[in-house]
Structure 1
Amino acid sequence: MPPIRFGVNYTPTRGWFHHWLDFDLDEVRSDLDSVAALGLDHVRVFPLWPLFQPNRTLIRPRAVDQLVSLADAAAERGLDVAVDGLQGHLSSFDFVPAWTTTWHRRNLFSDPDVLDGQAAYLETLAAALADRPNFLGMTLGNETNQFSGDPHPDPDRITPDQASAWLERMLAACERGAPGRLHLHASYDAAWYLDGHPFTPEHSATLGALTAVHAWVFNGTAQRYGRESTATAQHAAYLIELSKAWAEDPARPVWLQEVGAPAPHIPAEHGPAFVRDTVRAALDCTELWGITWWCSHDVDRALADFPELEYSLGLLTNGRQAKPQGLAFADAVREERAAPHVPAPRTLALAVESGTPCAPGGPVFEAWMRLAERGLRPACVRSERVADSAHLKDRGIAEVIQPHEV
């Protein structure tokens, strides 16, 4: 594996993601200077879909040019850029264009006209960046799967087969625009934890260039087990290992694309310890591609109606000063680069039966965490693969146990 990538999800200090309405490249440069000062190597950026494609057949050239100028500014600071296309959902707000809502209400995942518009948009963004050496690739959107079912208040209902067809078509559009880059999709943890969700573990672990996981401990982990528990410290590592149970390729990379320290579940004074514990646990997983923290800068408190925890997730203040957790992340990055950790294969695996709840509180989660508390390093393997000796050998697994045996 190449060196682990360390980056941050870029939240602009002036106007948050609404900054695209009043795009100021000097402000962006100042933000990126403060990111680069932490020693990071990439940013994940979020063009707001309704602003870039306000009409199904209008993709605004100026907006696309601004995205390219942001990527160029990042390159000047030694930062690579990953781009999310169809935002959908960011920090409790939904961003979908008017041509998919109310009087024009159409299913985001199955309506033919919407699909045509989405594919054209993703291909356009990818093509605009295809010649930039620091362009990593496209993510289809930020947790777009949350629109497909509960608990969304107005979901676009689809089947897993429809989700698969949507993912394959949109990934193909990205590939047409920028061949050979890291194009992927990213679901919030319902794909792993919510029974009956149309976006499945198989989708996450088999479609796209790599698997992305978003590991948020406000999903019940910190509330149930406590901020200083093994479950909270190892939650990201658990998701990384769980994802490998569905991967067809044992060497498929996994990107910890979002992880953060949400208050009050992780109080500010405990933030640095959470950063260190989370990074250390993730680095002990084989096939890790990188860690991208959420987020770069705190949200400006002049902006209204965010959930309270969203205002303080940054590694840096809204004034671009490194916070204690930002310094802790920078220290972890320096330590890893100075002496890279090479994790050994996880020889003990926990069997995961199809349909068994994997969410916090469920038998798989509980068993995995009990093993981790004993100082063991559990992997996960689907029950259907337990008898596949070649698969187990490829992954370095020597022993498989059932959750009830732990």
Structure 2
Amino acid sequence: MPAAVRFGVNYTPSEGWFHHWLDFDLDSVRADLDAIAALGLDHIRVFPLWPYFQPNRTLIRPRAVEQLVDLADAAAERGLDVSVDGLQGHLSSFDFLPAWTRTWHRRNLFTDPEAVEGQAAYLRTLAAALADRPNFIGMTVGNEVNQFAAAPHPDPDRVTPQEAERWLVRMLAACADGAPDRLHLHASYDVAWYQDDQPFTPGHSARLGDVTAVHSWVFNGTAQRHGRTSVQAEHHAAYLVELSKAWADAPHRPVWLQEVGAPAPLVPAEHAAAFTEATVTHALDCPGLWGITWWCSYDVSRELADFPELEYGLGLFTNDRAPKDIARVLAGAARRTHETPAVRTTALAVPDEPARRSRCAPGGSVFDAYFRLVADGARPTTVLDSRADDKDHLAARGITEVVTPDQVLPTPHGGTRS
């Protein structure tokens, strides 16, 4: 019997945002966690800010690490498990990189030997500090670190796909060295699935680490093109879950919907609960879903400047810890018993070649074909075109029919299979 789907939240503190590490207040953290636990969620994803924890390549601040452990222990007291992201990295439009990687000390994050060893030491240290805590899920290498590797970043650390893979393998090994037998993974934002020249590839996401992470944000063109109540917007998270399976070597590799939220103004506040309900319902219809971790716990305070407007209102709670309607929706989903979803027997063929992955992006032929199938009532998954005739692979996944995008013809009602 498969394990129940996990429900959690990305922990953004109610006071000070992630800058709370500079003035760490365990009583405030406990109050935050009380409200989260009251929803019936079972885990949080935690973000130590890298420059605050490792301000020098050979200095990982012991007190900062102790505070991370204190937070994990406070979560355990409230029945919450903890997953920790290491290299922050990038959060809510801000980059947090230590001075020893920038300007006068500029070095490539992914290929400079000293930078790589410094990062590995940091990840190993955080993992080891939590390794004996029963509520420690494991490490994520960092939050959307792939955004540093290519445009649209204004100052990218250029890297080839082969170099990106070597870096990921090294970072994941460091996490496992620190905490063996925990769930360690890495997380890219969606250009890994959608951008032809992004060096972090779908194969990296679906084959490296213990679980595949997907981050679903409909401000990527989906809601702009199709609207907040469209099939495309409400099923976008489920689409990424199923799209990721095409590249997995293991036929039943679990997928973690590690970030998903309701971004205003594309999803206005008065419609956020309905969007949340639809998104969660459709994601739960994906076999092999490890968990759903909503972004995020608390709104960003209006006293903090220069965030993109959408970032201020993404929380399940306001800054004074009052739950919003979306909190009640997620709490209801977490407390319900969910049936194991049926196998998805129809697969849409997707390009194996990473240089053609833009066909999977909003406006691409794969994206459009997938949602025509959904609109017509199908429950599609995906398979690489190079595996479309691999009977053993298809049988292992329960796939009985493979269709190509050009076979899914547009109709006024969505699409039909020819």
2:343 matched residue in structure 1: 345
1:10 matched residue in structure 2: 11
Aligned mates of 1:42, 1:328 — CA distance in 2? 17
Aligned mates of 2:306, 2:188 — CA distance in 1? 24
1:370 matched residue in structure 2: 372
2:288 matched residue in structure 1: 287
2:147 matched residue in structure 1: 146
Aligned mates of 1:353, 1:115 — CA distance in 2? 32
Identity of aligned residues (%): 70
2:403 matched residue in structure 1: 401
1:323 matched residue in structure 2: 324
Structure 2, unaligned runs of 5 or more: 409-418
2:202 matched residue in structure 1: 201
1:108 matched residue in structure 2: 109
1:219 matched residue in structure 2: 220
Letter in 2 for 1:395: R
The correspondence of residues 253-292 of structure 1 with structure 2, limited to 5 A, is 253-292=254-293
1:385 matched residue in structure 2: 387
Letter in 2 for 1:348: T
Aligned mates of 1:224, 1:194 — CA distance in 2? 18
1:23 matched residue in structure 2: 24
Aligned mates of 1:130, 1:328 — CA distance in 2? 33
Q: Deviations over 1:55-74 (max 9, x none)?
A: 00000000000000000000
Shift of residue 251, structure 1, vs aligned partner: 1.1
Letter in 1 for 2:166: A
Shift of residue 331, structure 1, vs aligned partner: 1.1
Aligned mates of 1:62, 1:383 — CA distance in 2? 51
Aligned mates of 1:53, 1:347 — CA distance in 2? 48
SS at structure 1 position matched to 2:257: strand
Aligned mates of 1:61, 1:316 — CA distance in 2? 31
Aligned mates of 1:101, 1:48 — CA distance in 2? 16
Aligned pair count? 403
Aligned mates of 1:251, 1:163 — CA distance in 2? 25
Aligned mates of 1:341, 1:170 — CA distance in 2? 36
Shift of residue 149, structure 1, vs aligned partner: 0.2
Shift of residue 219, structure 1, vs aligned partner: 0.5
Aligned mates of 1:349, 1:205 — CA distance in 2? 17
Shift of residue 375, structure 1, vs aligned partner: 1.1
Aligned mates of 2:260, 2:89 — CA distance in 1? 19
Letter in 2 for 1:107: N
Letter in 1 for 2:189: Y
Aligned mates of 1:209, 1:353 — CA distance in 2? 24
Shift of residue 329, structure 1, vs aligned partner: 1.0
Shift of residue 194, structure 1, vs aligned partner: 0.3
Q: Deviations over 1:24-54 (max 9, x none)?
A: 0000000000100111000000000000000
Q: Deviations over 1:109-139 (max 9, x none)?
A: 0000000100000000000000000000000
SS at structure 2 position matched to 1:141: strand
Q: Deviations over 1:287-317 (max 9, x none)?
A: 1000000000111111111001000000111
Shift of residue 93, structure 1, vs aligned partner: 0.2
Aligned mates of 2:247, 2:137 — CA distance in 1? 24
SS at structure 2 position matched to 1:185: strand
Structure-1-length-normalised TM-score: 0.99
Structure-2-length-normalised TM-score: 0.96
Letter in 2 for 1:113: E
Shift of residue 196, structure 1, vs aligned partner: 1.4
Q: Deviations over 1:183-216 (max 9, x none)?
A: 0000000100000110000000000000000000
Letter in 2 for 1:89: H
Aligned mates of 1:165, 1:303 — CA distance in 2? 38
Shift of residue 333, structure 1, vs aligned partner: 1.4
1:130 matched residue in structure 2: 131
Structure 1, unaligned runs of 5 or more: none
Aligned mates of 1:332, 1:133 — CA distance in 2? 25
Aligned mates of 2:301, 2:172 — CA distance in 1? 34
Letter in 2 for 1:242: L
1:46 matched residue in structure 2: 47
Shift of residue 353, structure 1, vs aligned partner: 2.0
The correspondence of residues 185-196 of structure 1 with structure 2, limited to 5 A, is 185-196=186-197
Deviation >3 Å, runs of 4+:
none
